[in-house]
Structure 1
Amino acid sequence: MELLSEEKIEQELEKLSKWKRIDEKWIRRRYKFDNYLLGVEFVSKVAAYAEGKQHHPNIAIDYKVVTLKISSWEMQGITDLDIEMAHYFDELYEQSDK
């Protein structure tokens, strides 16, 4: 796991246009669903992937909106693994029923 430079984070966030930088150590995205259960199903897939990576995002379910926040605690910031996971979560969302 490699801590990313500010320049690299900005480059990656341009590719992840719906992800936003929160403070200096987090990236966040909100995913919208047609109903609560579709969001819960998405969270289940996110959790399974995160468990396999042993790298867990903060997850909030607010009725039809799921919010993911990612950071690397050990590295005290945003790493290549955080970016990889953000891309994967976006792919999961695109493949899911919304």
Structure 2
Amino acid sequence: MPLTDEEVDAAVTNLDGWEHADGALRRSVKFPSFLEGIEGVRKVAEHAERKDHHPDIDIRWRTVTFALVTHSEGGITDKDVQMAAEINEVLGEV
């Protein structure tokens, strides 16, 4: 079940670097180099595959944007909030 806008906005306050924009949770990360950005994407992708919950990923040179929304539920769910927190953990290892 999708969260309300108020619930999403409240959750974002606990998700460092994330915002509620365009119907999704979004975080852009600027990496020191293109290859380090690709390595960050690889680590997030491996984690997402294990969890079977995949972010949309946009790569623009050193800036990588992750977007989370549960398309099958028609909005942002607790699964997305959890994955955002997990992506932060994964990126902390990069």
Normalising by structure 2, what TM-score?
0.91
In the alignment, is residue 16 of structure 1 matched against residue 15 of structure 2? yes
SS at match of 1:50: helix
- Counterparts of 1:19-58 in structure 2, within 5 Å, are 19-23=18-22, 25-58=23-56
SS at match of 2:45: helix
Gaps of 5+ in 2: none
Which amino acid counterpart does residue 14 of structure 1 have in structure 2?
A: T
Gaps of 5+ in 1: none
> Per-residue CA shift, 1:4-33, capped at 9, x if unaligned?
23222111111114211122x311100111
TM-align CA RMSD? 1.2
Pairing partner for 1:65 from 63, 66, 69: 63
Identical-pair percentage: 36
- The CA distance in 2 between the partners of 1:17 and 1:53, in whole Å, is 21
Deviation at 1:52, TM superposition (A): 1.5
Normalising by structure 1, what TM-score?
0.87
Which amino acid counterpart does residue 7 of structure 1 have in structure 2?
A: E
- The CA distance in 2 between the partners of 1:89 and 1:17, in whole Å, is 11
Q: Counterpart of 2:84?
A: 86
- The CA distance in 1 between the partners of 2:21 and 2:80, in whole Å, is 13
- The CA distance in 2 between the partners of 1:48 and 1:92, in whole Å, is 10
Q: Which consecutive aligned stretches of 4+ in structure 1 deviate over 4 angstroms post-superposition?
A: none
